[in-house]
Amino acid sequence: MKKTLAIVGGGAVGLSSAIHAYNFAKDKINIIILEKLDRVGKKILATGNGRCNFTNIYATYENFYGEDSFFTKYFLEQFSSQDTINFFYNLGVLHTVLENGKVYPYSEQASSILDALRNKIDSLNIPIKTEFDVKNISKKNDKFKITSAKGETVLADKIIFATGGTASPNLGTNGGGIKLLKSLGHSSTPLTPALVQLKTPTEKVKALKGIKITGNLKMYSKDTFLKEEYGEILFTDYGISGPPVFQLSTLFARYKNLIGYIDFMPNFTEEDVFNILKDRKKILSYTNLENYFNGLLNKRLGNIIAKTSGIEKLSFLVKNLTDDILKNMAYHIKNYKLEILDTNGFNNAQVTAGGLKTKEFNDKTLESKIIKGLYCAGEILDVVGDCGGFNLQWAWASSYVATKACVKSMI
Ligand SMILES: Cc1cc2nc3c(=O)[nH]c(=O)nc-3n(C[C@H](O)[C@H](O)[C@H](O)COP(=O)(O)OP(=O)(O)OC[C@H]3O[C@@H](n4cnc5c(N)ncnc54)[C@H](O)[C@@H]3O)c2cc1C
């Protein structure tokens, strides 16, 4: 009798895993996908702002974080970003490489990735059970019994368990899979929203709400410099958003006392800025602070810099600006300090930092050391990647390795 592989979760891992499983086993095993929502791959449609940044040509283990910072190395070597590109090429998806090594489908439509996976799965007649919210897994005589919230059951010999993390629960992922495996003996590291906006004291950002600036964001943990990113930063009424913020947000899960410093004039040194301000004092000696930053900084930002530098009244005359005040202003233009209080939560996060502890899984096969015959891959594990196609690359790579090992053990 043919053995059955049940794939729990019809996301990036689950769908690619079904195709790999068929490629490895052909007709020697039965494959079934169990998905909680009314359709598979909903999250894929939301990726990359609807364009799906499905891998990154520069992906290495250094782009990933978790308790074991080398954990992803083997998997990325087994299935590299080029393997991902080839995999999708063979499903009819041509790719294009845009800035910073980010890879998108040439059509620039996320639906191309989902349709390519679904069409292939349909052509292989792999059954998909939707609205099958897995709530329990038990094992009897080497067979898994998988039970849904509605009480339906599926029997399987092996399981690829890929229910994702806790980020964006509206797309099917609310951490339920992590909870279930914890009830069966696994443990997880703390779960924190990542690739997400950051919250700061509101008095430092509220007046700037809606302003977009191109600058450099540097992150420190107390006095220790961690990382910096350049790009468009957006101010909101609760904090900051934009690509550099998303990129640096993974630090929140790893460091305490996170402090951001925005450099509003990254093309100039602090001394340059001081000299520019000094020059403007001469040029604009006929006016007051309300007009002093005009043409240099966004007007509202100029007002905040004046305030942060100790000048409350915009009626302050430019001709009365001392070198000390100008030095102070130059400092704040180059180092606008924002304490990072929190992230903007799982509802707004793209991924989860933290997950099932990787040391509880075989580091070459991803088989659980606690539940033999069950393999995990993707975001459910304690692996989080940088922004830029890395998280999907982890999904594809871990899916390939886990499926290969799992299927080989079945045939
Ligand atoms: C808005 C947004 C944009 C993103 N953009 C990018 C990007 O451009 N590039 C990139 O690399 N990454 C991006 N990501 C992250 C990336 O989508 C995920 O890291 C990746 O999809 C994880 O794959 P996965 O298969 O592990 O989990 P998921 O893709 O989340 O799939 C998990 C699946 O399991 C199902 N499920 C959950 N619980 C159960 C259960 N109990 N029973 C049955 N099924 C269940 C879910 O409904 C879901 O379909 C983005 C994420 C979001 C939210």
Ligand 1 atom nearest to CA at 10: 49
Residue 28 tokens, joined: 């020697």
Q: Which residue's alpha carbon is at the smallest distance from atom 6 of ligand 1?
A: 47
User: Hey, whose CA ends up nearest to atom 21 of ligand 1?
Assistant: 12
pLDDT in tens, 386-411: 999 999 999 999 999 999 999 999 99
Q: Does any ligand 1 atom lie closer than 6 A to the CB of residue 8?
A: yes
Q: Is the CB of 98 under 6 A from ligand 1?
A: no
Question: Which ligand 1 atom is nearest residue 133's CA?
Answer: 42
Q: Which residues contact 303 (CB under 8 A, 6 or more apart)?
A: 207, 289, 290, 293, 314
Going from the Cα of 95 to the center of ligand 1, the distance in angstroms, rounded, reads: 21
Q: Check: CB of residue 283 under 8 Å from CB of residue 295.
A: no
Determine the pLDDT at residue 216. 98
Output the CA 156–ligand 1 centroid distance in Å. Answer: 23
Residue with tokens 């049940």: 6
**What is the DSSP secondary structure assignment for residue 130, as one 8-state letter?**
-
Q: Residue ranges of the alpha helices (H) in 194-269?
A: 243-248, 250-254
CB pairs under 8 A, 24+ apart, for 83-88?
A: 83/396, 83/397, 83/400, 84/54, 84/55, 84/392, 84/393, 84/396, 84/397, 85/55, 87/16, 87/396, 88/54, 88/113, 88/116
DSSP secondary structure of 336-380: EEEE--EE--TTT-SEEE--B-GGGB-TTT-BBSSSTTEEE-GGG
Give the residue from 227, 274, 264, 265 showing the smallest Cα distance to 246. 227
Cα–Cα distances (Å) from 202 to 21, 140, 209, 240, 248, in that order, read 51, 55, 10, 10, 19
Neighbouring C-alpha atoms within 13 Å toward the C-beta of 344: 20
| Ligand 1 neighbour 355 (Cβ under 6 A) | no
**pLDDT score, position 256:** 84
Ligand 1 center to 169 CA (angstroms): 10
Among 106, 149, 155, 128, which Cα is nearest to 15's? 128
Query: Low-confidence residues of the chain, pLDDT below 70?
Result: none
Residue ranges of domains in the chain, CATH in brackets: 3-193+351-408 (3.50.50.60), 197-344 (no CATH)
- pLDDT tens digit string along 245-259? 999 999 999 998 999
The pTM of the full predicted model, rounded to 2 decimals, is 0.95
Give pLDDT, residue 236.
97
Q: Ligand 1, atom 8: nearest CA belongs to which residue? A: 48
**Distance of CA 331 from the midpoint of ligand 1 (Å):** 42
